[in-house]
């Protein structure tokens, strides 16, 4: 090339800088402008992009505002991993420029500086974004002057570290990038902790999670040095002596095949997410683990409101994430912030109470809303003990400072005043909360979470009395006696039914469940129009509440014949369950012969659809994650919930998937409500053919081991992505073919046949073998030889070694020693 040609070439590239270059380097003077569909700077592989992302428009910024950020560029969700100006979004046409003296500088269209890369010492030569997602600015001697990894926001990427006195800050909400109230901090003491701060200051409250306290290694002689998220995707605290304390024992998928990120969510839950890198990924992130296990009960601080705002109540939802709600007669202070504080729709005033006391009993003016398994533990100002419940009510009733009374353990009365903090639902709480509310203008509202019964037929009763009087005046004496008798009987009948109805609704208050009328659910489902599933228990319809929340309404089958008290007993047991791997029961209807259950609606459908209906198999890590979630849900039902529940019908159609593809078990606790002769088997057996344990056929005692057997069949289906009831199967043994075939493949070393060329599954051959062996243990014919679900979860997590299982016909008692150690 001639000197003239070379000069022209250089001038061309200097005068027209490319915002994105093949080698990933960005030269001084390069710039980006905040516009829709604007170009960005890409990493060499194209995995990450750096530039402007548009935020939702608002009234003050009709043209839109933009966030300077780094995001995953190859997945549909375009998940943001770093951002710069969360508190000061950039208006359209704002400019980002790489300068020689200040590094990155972001200015608005008027030239006002919005953000800059801080602590730049030296002259900038160029910048780059690499394939780890780190944006770096280099000096003239190729020294690092600044990097985004040293300025983390709310998440970490593989190869990133968090040194002493460094921290992550959560976002304010799911849709806001302003600083939130939760932090992940690496303390100078070497402890990795989660804590809240008192906004707008940075004052840190007491930690609600500490890695040192939860570590399995009890040798704490060496302090922590830094928090490391290594290249393989494993997070640990590195100690001064070189030891590693891992945050989780969950098996981590390969970082070469999955994107990894650790995020401090806006609700204070620290979660490790993964997403397959293959082209078939739909952008859905899978949660590997999260801390704490239940943030509603873990976060307990004398300062601050807790997870939810003041006077609000936290309950655990899907993916270990909290849900917040206001008690009856309280509403959100900010209707757009569901995690914010609640304010009462009335005023407790001591001066007014003194006047009321002169007019009559305080019981004429106030009543109580009751909530069981609920508490605000940090708002007490007095303990009265020993006290009865009536004494507790009366004391709070006549104390103008008392807004709530907590009656615990049959003898302790805790009086609480506003504002109430750290509200939570906790099945382990023994007792109830009594919320004092005024009696006047008490009404039932369609959107009330805890409806309080109130008579609504006052005017109607008045019209009936006028009609009855007219009838009596115009009739003979003998007829009057007959009429009086009939009318008296009629009033007694209606009155008893009314009391019965109120009794049911009052009972609901103690369950934290909503009582729905049949008309409400009929309208919410548009006349039971959209059917989304059916089974032995009934038909499920999709519905929409007045607040646009989607629900799933299960209309129980007509064969449901349990008595009213039995029905409420079973609903009570179901309503007390709270676990991330169970579908949440929101309420019910028990009106005449109509019995319906209302559940949260899960958008990703059933496990059956995921495994058997798609053109391609779900990723191996996703299937493993689902298998572990189902196991943890069954463990909770069997051993950890207030009342032991045997599901009796575990199958893919009864496993639903939430927004994050977490497995959620449905239809648990319903088996007791169903007549014994109502099932798919058309016998006295509960369950579905192919998943039914042998003891059902042998008149043996039914225990939790029937669920273990069904789980074993389900686990094989998850491994193979093949139904045990596939259309290609026939004869009476169709439910056995998958299990027998899987055992033969295992015995002859043909594991590749089970996953049918699934390269991801075959690359995890040890894991594949362990899962198959766990499944075979679960489907042993002798119930005593099957492991408990606790043992199953330990084997899945790698905490317990999986022995080689025997064939059912060759089993002997000695093989059960690992299942039931002394």
SS3 177: strand
* d(C-alpha 743, C-alpha 804), whole Å: 11
**Longest pairwise C-alpha distance within the chain:** 128
CA distance 636 to 680: 26
Burial of 15 (0-12, 13-18, 19+ CB in 10 A): exposed
The gap between the terminal CA atoms of the chain, to the nearest Å, is 84
Backbone angles phi, psi at 229, to 5 degrees: -110, 95
Buried b (16+ CB within 10 A) or exposed e, 381-400: eeebeebeeeebbbbbbebb
Q: How far apart are CA 237 and CA 287, in angstroms?
A: 20
> For the residues of 32-99, what is the DSSP string, one character each?
EE--TT---EE-TTSSEEEEEEEEPPBTTBTT-EEEEEEEESSSTT--EEEES-SSSPEETT-EEEEE
Residue 191 falls in the annotated catalytic set: no
Q: What is the DSSP letter of 697?
A: G
- Residue 406: strand pairing partners: 414, 433
Quote the CA–CA distance of 384 and 398 in Å, as a whole number. Answer: 14
Cα(532)–Cα(543) distance, rounded to whole angstroms? 10
- The 3-state DSSP class for residue 627 equals helix
Phi, psi (rounded to 5 degrees) for 725:
-120, 35
Instruction: Give which of 25, 36, 746, 552 is closest to 754, Cα–Cα.
Output: 746
Residue 302 DSSP class: S
Map residue 366 onto helix, strand or coil: strand
Both structure tokens of 279? 């082209």
Can you list the pairs that 59-65 forms with residues at least 24 positions away whose Cβ atoms lie under 8 Å? 61/89, 61/91, 61/92, 63/91, 63/92, 64/36, 64/92, 65/89, 65/90, 65/91, 65/92
Cβ-proximal residues to 642 (8 Å cutoff; 6+ apart), any chain:
427, 573, 576, 577
Q: Check: CB of residue 73 under 8 Å from CB of residue 53.
A: no
CA distance 417 to 381: 7
CA distance 810 to 715: 22
SS3 content of the chain, % helix, strand, coil (to 5): 30, 25, 45
The SS3 call for residue 338 is coil
Query: Under the phi-then-psi rule, with left for phi > 0, alpha for psi from -120 to 50, and beta for the rest, what region is 16?
Result: beta
Which residue in the block uniquely carries the two structure tokens 């080689």?
804
Buried b (16+ CB within 10 A) or exposed e, 259-290: bbbbbbbbbbbbbbbbbbbeeebeebbbbbbb
H or E stretch including 171?
strand 167-173
Of the candidates 192, 208, 419, the residue with the CA atom closest to the CA atom of residue 295: 208
Take residue 293 and report the two structure tokens written for it. 């296990």
Catalytic pick from 649, 658, 707, 758?
649
Query: CB of 535 within 8 A of CB of 654?
Result: yes
Q: Give 636-654 as a DSSP string.
A: IIIIISSS----S--SGGG
Active site residues: 649
């Amino acid at each position: 090339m001639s000197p003239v040609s070379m000069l022209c070439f250089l001038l061309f590239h200097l005068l027209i800088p490319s915002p994105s270059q093949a080698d990933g380097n960005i030269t001084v003077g390069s710039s980006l402008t905040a516009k829709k569909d604007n170009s960005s700077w890409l990493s060499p592989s194209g995995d990450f992009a750096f530039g402007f992302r548009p935020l939702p428009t608002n009234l003050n910024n009709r043209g839109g505002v933009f966030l300077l950020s780094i995001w995953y560029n190859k997945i549909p969700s375009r998940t943001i991993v770093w951002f710069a100006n969360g508190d000061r979004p950039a208006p359209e046409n704002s400019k980002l420029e790489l300068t020689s003296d200040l590094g990155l500088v972001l200015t608005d269209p008027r030239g006002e500086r919005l953000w800059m890369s801080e602590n730049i010492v030296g002259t900038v030569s160029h910048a780059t974004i690499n394939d780890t997602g780190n944006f770096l600015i280099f000096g003239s001697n190729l020294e690092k002057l600044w990097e985004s990894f040293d300025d983390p926001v709310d998440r970490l990427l593989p190869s990133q570290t968090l040194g002493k006195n460094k921290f992550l800050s959560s976002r304010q909400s799911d849709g806001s990038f302003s600083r939130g109230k939760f932090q992940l901090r690496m303390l100078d003491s070497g402890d990795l902790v989660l804590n809240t701060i008192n906004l707008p200051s940075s004052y840190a409250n007491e930690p609600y999670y500490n890695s040192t306290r939860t570590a399995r290694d009890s040798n704490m002689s060496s302090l922590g040095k830094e928090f490391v998220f290594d290249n393989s995707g494993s997070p640990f605290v590195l100690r001064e002596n070189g030891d590693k304390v891992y945050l989780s024992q969950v098996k981590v998928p390969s970082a070469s095949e999955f994107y990894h990120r650790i995020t401090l969510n806006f609700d204070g839950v620290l979660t490790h997410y993964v997403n397959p890198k293959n082209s078939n990924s739909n952008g859905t992130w899978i949660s590997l683990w999260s801390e704490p296990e239940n943030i509603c009960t873990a976060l307990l601080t004398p300062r601050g409101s807790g997870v939810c705002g003041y006077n609000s109540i936290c309950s655990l939802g899907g993916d270990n994430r909290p849900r917040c709600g206001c008690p009856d007669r309280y509403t959100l202070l900010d209707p757009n912030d569901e995690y914010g504080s609640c304010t009462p729709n009335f005023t407790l005033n001591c001066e007014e109470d003194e006047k009321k006391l002169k007019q009559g009993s305080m019981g004429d003016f106030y009543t109580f809303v009751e909530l069981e398994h609920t508490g605000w533990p940090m708002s007490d100002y007095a303990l009265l003990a020993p006290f009865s419940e009536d004494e507790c009510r009366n004391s709070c009733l006549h104390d103008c400072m008392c807004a709530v009374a907590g009656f615990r353990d049959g003898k302790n009365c805790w009086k609480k005043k506003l504002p109430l903090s750290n509200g939570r639902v906790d099945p382990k709480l023994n007792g109830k909360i009594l919320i004092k509310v005024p009696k006047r203008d008490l009404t039932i509202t369609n959107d009330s979470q805890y409806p309080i019964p109130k008579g609504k037929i006052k005017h109607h009763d008045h019209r009936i009395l006028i009609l009855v009087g007219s009838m009596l005046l115009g009739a003979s004496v003998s007829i009057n006696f007959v009429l009086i008798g009939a009318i008296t009987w009629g009033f007694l009948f209606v009155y008893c039914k009314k009391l019965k109805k109120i009794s049911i609704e009052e009972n609901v208050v103690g369950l934290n469940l909503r009582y729905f009328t049949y008309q409400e659910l009929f309208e919410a489902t548009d006349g039971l129009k959209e059917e989304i599933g059916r089974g032995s228990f009934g038909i499920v319809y999709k519905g929409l509440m007045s607040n646009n929340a989607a629900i799933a309404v299960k209309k129980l089958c007509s064969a449901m014949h349990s008595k009213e008290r039995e029905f409420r007993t079973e609903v009570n047991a179901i309503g007390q369950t709270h676990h991330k791997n169970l579908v949440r029961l929101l309420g019910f209807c028990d009106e005449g012969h109509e019995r319906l259950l209302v559940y949260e609606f899960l958008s990703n459908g059933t496990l059956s659809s995921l495994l058997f209906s798609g053109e391609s198999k779900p990723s191996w890590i996703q299937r493993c994650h689902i298998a572990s979630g189902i196991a943890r849900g069954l463990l909770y039902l069997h051993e950890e919930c207030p009342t032991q529940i045997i599901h009796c019908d575990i199958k893919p159609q009864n496993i639903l998937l939430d927004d994050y593809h977490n497995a959620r078990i449905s239809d648990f606790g319903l088996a007791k409500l169903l007549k014994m002769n109502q099932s798919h088997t058309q016998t006295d057996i509960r369950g579905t053919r192919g998943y039914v344990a042998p003891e059902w056929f042998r008149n043996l005692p039914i225990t939790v081991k029937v669920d273990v057997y069904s789980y074993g069949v389900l686990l094989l289906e998850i491994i193979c992505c093949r139904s045990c009831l596939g259309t290609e199967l026939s004869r009476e043994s169709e439910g056995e073919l998958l299990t027998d075939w899987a055992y033969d493949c295992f015995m002859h070393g043909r594991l590749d046949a089970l996953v049918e060329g699934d390269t991801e599954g075959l690359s995890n051959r040890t894991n594949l073998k362990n899962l198959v062996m766990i499944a075979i243990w679960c489907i042993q014919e002798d119930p005593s030889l099957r492991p408990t679900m606790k043992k199953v979860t330990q084997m899945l997590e790698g905490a317990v070694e999986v022995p080689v299982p025997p064939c059912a016909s060759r089993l002997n008692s000695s093989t059960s020693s690992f299942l039931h150690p002394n």
